[in-house]
Amino acid sequence: MSEDRKLLQPLTGVVSVVLRVLLGTLVVGFVLSLFVDGMHWGRGDVCVTADWTGTSGSDFRPYETLPGAGVNYTPTFCPLEPTGTGWQQFLGVMRTAPVTVLLVGGLFLLDRLLRLAARDGVHTPETATRLRVLGWWLLLGSLVVETAASAAGGLLLNTLTDDEVADAAWTQLWSAPYLAVLTGLGLLTFARIVGASALLRDELDAVV
């Protein structure tokens, strides 16, 4: 399997290093936040920027404009206390933590896929299965993460304002994760290709 191992480099090494650095950073940051005052590691952002409610106009006085020009301004809702209440802090974490879980999980699955493919071979049913798992992780995970983050943002905004804009805030905060979805679909396609090549390889070995 030495040829397969060479084909997978340098991606195998890069992913392995990035995964370990990321995990090390998360662990060190968490430990330091327990003992160092002023560190807010793992605490979410308790401010919500309602960028869909921004307006513009030449009467925006803090910044002077030339005739025919306007200045956009966007409200940002924040609690008076920097950390907010416990509920607000939880919602702030829920806006960012799922993204970290998706990233770390994706890197772990990719690292495992590459290492085992280098050991057992690229054109195997097991490699096709691991590609499929990674593809579904990115496809479904990105949609779940985006929905969870936008829902948390909407709930957080509801704790900061009673304006009617907060009622449908999550739909405005939600944005389609096009790249992750397309990458997931691409991996699922490659999983079928690798599975077909593995089956063909087994048939050729049986004939020989």
Say whether 55 sits in a helix, a strand or coil: strand
Tens digits of residue pLDDT in 110-159? 999 999 998 888 889 999 999 999 999 999 999 999 999 999 998 998 88
Burial of 183 from C-beta contacts in 10 A (0-12 / 13-18 / 19+): middle
Tens digits of residue pLDDT in 56-70? 554 545 667 788 877
Q: How confident is the model at residue 9 (pLDDT cuts 50, 70, 90)?
A: confident
Contact 154, 166 (CB under 8 A): yes
Contact 95, 111 (CB under 8 A): no
In the structure encoding, which two tokens stand for residue 205, read together? Answer: 């070995």
Average pLDDT over residues 32-50: 68
Give me the helix-helix angle, 86-120 and 11-35, nearest 10°: 150
Pairing of strands 76-77, 71-73: unpaired
Tens digits of residue pLDDT in 13-25? 999 999 999 999 8
Average pLDDT over residues 176-196: 94
C-alpha angle 10-15-17 in degrees, rounded to nearest 5: 100
pTM of the model: 0.82
> Is 128 or 53 the better-scoring residue by pLDDT?
128
